[in-house]
Amino acid sequence: MFIKTFFCILIFLTFLSSCSVLNLAYCVKAREDFSVFSESEAQIAVEAAEDKILTCYQAASNAANSGANVSVLLLILDEAGTLYSRAQLAYQNGDFNSATSLANLSVEKLSNFVDDANLLEQEASKQQFMDFLALAASAVATMLVLFASAIAWIVLNRTPRKVKAT
């Protein structure tokens, strides 16, 4: 019984060590494939992220000024801003790989942002126009009722009424 247990443990340990060797080989291979970004590449990526954030902020501001609900856009902009801040910090610390990756993630977060903001702005403009039309229609209907009432009052007051004598 002891020998069976011993061999089972030995086989298990051999299996674990082979997995560790395979894992180590995978890590070495992954390290070889790992691309290293230069300082200038990181700087370009961080500046591109900053430009994208400023463009998206302006688009969100325009949409908000037109009356659109931009709360979802602001959440996305906040996430991208956090990634950008982390990219700047990594760049300042000399970690150009992280800086480039974080800056690129920030830009990816904002990939459809301007289109979404413009769509919200257009929808808000359409809604404002529809609200104006409803208000104008209500005003016209009110004026028609007042005009018709005035005409009816004038017509009814011009015709002599017969009063019954008692």
Contact 84, 100 (CB under 8 A): no
Q: Amino acid identity, residue 146?
A: L
43 CB-side CA count, 13 A: 3
Question: Which residue range is the domain that position 136 belongs to?
Answer: 10-158
* pLDDT for 84: 95
When pLDDT is cut at 50, 70 and 90, the band that residue 67 belongs to is confident
Q: What is the number of other CB atoms lying within 10 angstroms of the CB of residue 155?
A: 9
Contact 47, 100 (CB under 8 A): no
When pLDDT is cut at 50, 70 and 90, the band that residue 9 belongs to is low
- Tell whether 166 is covered by a domain: no
Query: Tell me: the pLDDT tens digits for 12-65?
Result: 555 545 444 344 334 433 333 355 888 889 999 999 999 999 999 999 999 999
Contact 113, 56 (CB under 8 A): yes
Number of domains in the chain: 1
Query: Tell me: the pLDDT tens digits for 117-159?
Result: 889 888 877 877 777 788 888 888 899 898 888 888 888 887 6
- Tell whether 164 is covered by a domain: no
Give the mean model confidence (pLDDT) for residues 67-95.
Answer: 93
Using alpha carbons only, what angle is made at residue 20 by residues 17 and 25, rounded to the nearest 5 degrees? 130
- Tell whether 163 is covered by a domain: no
